[in-house]
Chains A and B, each alone.
Chain A
Amino acid sequence: MSTPRVVFAAAMVAAAWTTVITGLVAVGAARAEAAWLKSGSGNAFATALPLKAPDTPTTSNLKCNRSGGTDPAVTVTWSYPSTILPPKFEVLSSATPNNASPTIAATTTTAMSATIPLAGNNQAAYLSVRSVAGSWRLRSGEVRVC
């Protein structure tokens, strides 16, 4: 047998081994992908915010008239009956009690106190606080000042 033939034969053997190794790698990959898939039906769960109405607010630093060169104002303080706070509080003011469309005098997120201007000189105001979560709103009881 001539040298070229021997070289050719050796190359054929090498090619055969390459084919074997490639095949084994492919088999391994196929095994890796042959993981067992299985699906089942069931339920996931989520909860909605349990919105509460703030407690009826208290007032302090009340100033009902414009004496001394400053406008009427009052500090409104409230508490919330849950540790899970709503996204927003609104302090509401109205010249009449139980007004369905009161003025939003102040807005807070986590603070539960706000100082708001009052409408007029010695004019009565009915104050309340509303918890707001999107379109959900719950209003506290009212307190009258001035």
Chain B
Amino acid sequence: MKNPTLRRVLVVTTVVGATLGGGIAVAAWTSSGSGAANAKAGTAAAPTTGTVNASAFTSGLLYPGGPAGDAKVLVNNPNPYPVKVTTIVANGTPTGSGGTGTCTTTGVTWSSQSPNASVPAGGNATLTLAGAVSMSTASEDGCQGALFAIPVTVTVVSG
């Protein structure tokens, strides 16, 4: 490059551009750090569940050796932001009540669910999960018409 003026301009422009770019880059990464701090504000409250009455079921009822039936979960979201229910997995032994007799052996089993259903901020939603439960032939006669409470762990994610 023969023109000294042009050469100087190019040199100065290059140096200034690199410096500004670096400055902006640092600023951007600093901002990113602030975002991570927000995520750390993990005061998220755990979801809870409510009771669903037997009268809420009109289909997908269970019987021994029958097809998988419907389950319902009333999910409460205590957080000030909406959540999505990602998974519902079993964490205990189902119990039966309100049947025609003794229902100690329910024969009820839960299949893990990934409903991806929304629950509004501070609100609740009743999820109907088709095919989530099954009843084996081990179920006692006294379980006819019973309402089963199936212990589960409900996992939610913000958004």
Contact = CB atoms under 8 A, between A and B. Distances in A.
Interface stretch (A44-52, A59-67, A103-111, A115-123): A44-52
Contacts of B155: 37-39
B49 A44 contact: yes
B73 A44 contact: yes
Interface in B26-80: 28-29, 32, 35-36, 39, 42, 44-52, 54, 56-58, 60-66, 69-73, 75, 79
Contact of B7 (A1, A13, A86): A1
A101 interface: no
B157 A37 contact: yes
Interface residues of B, number: 77
A40 interface: yes
B63 A45 contact: no
A6 B110 CA distance: 69
Nearest to B156: A38
Interface string A1-41: 11100100110110011011001100100110011111111
B25 interface: yes
A81 interface: no
Contacts of A17: 21
Main secondary structure of the interface of B (DSSP, over half): mixed
B18 A133 contact: no
Given A46-B150, A48-B143, A1 B64 contact: no
Contacts of A97: none
Contacts of B72: 44-46
A112 B58 CA distance: 21
Given A20-B24, A135-B137, A46 B62 contact: yes
A89 to B, nearest CB: 14
Nearest to A32: B159
B145 interface: yes
Contacts of B47: 38-40, 42
B146 interface: yes
Contacts of A87: 63, 66
A87 B62 CA distance: 11
B139 to A, nearest CB: 7
Contacts of B56: 45
A134 to B, nearest CB: 4
24 contacts: A1-B1, A1-B11, A9-B10, A12-B18, A17-B21, A27-B28, A30-B36, A35-B157, A37-B156, A37-B157, A38-B79, A39-B154, A43-B51, A43-B73, A43-B151, A45-B56, A45-B73, A47-B57, A47-B146, A48-B145, A49-B63, A49-B66, A49-B145, A135-B65
Given A38-B155, A42-B48, 16 more contacts: A3-B1, A12-B18, A16-B21, A20-B21, A20-B24, A20-B25, A24-B32, A35-B159, A38-B46, A38-B47, A43-B150, A45-B73, A47-B54, A134-B137, A135-B65, A135-B137
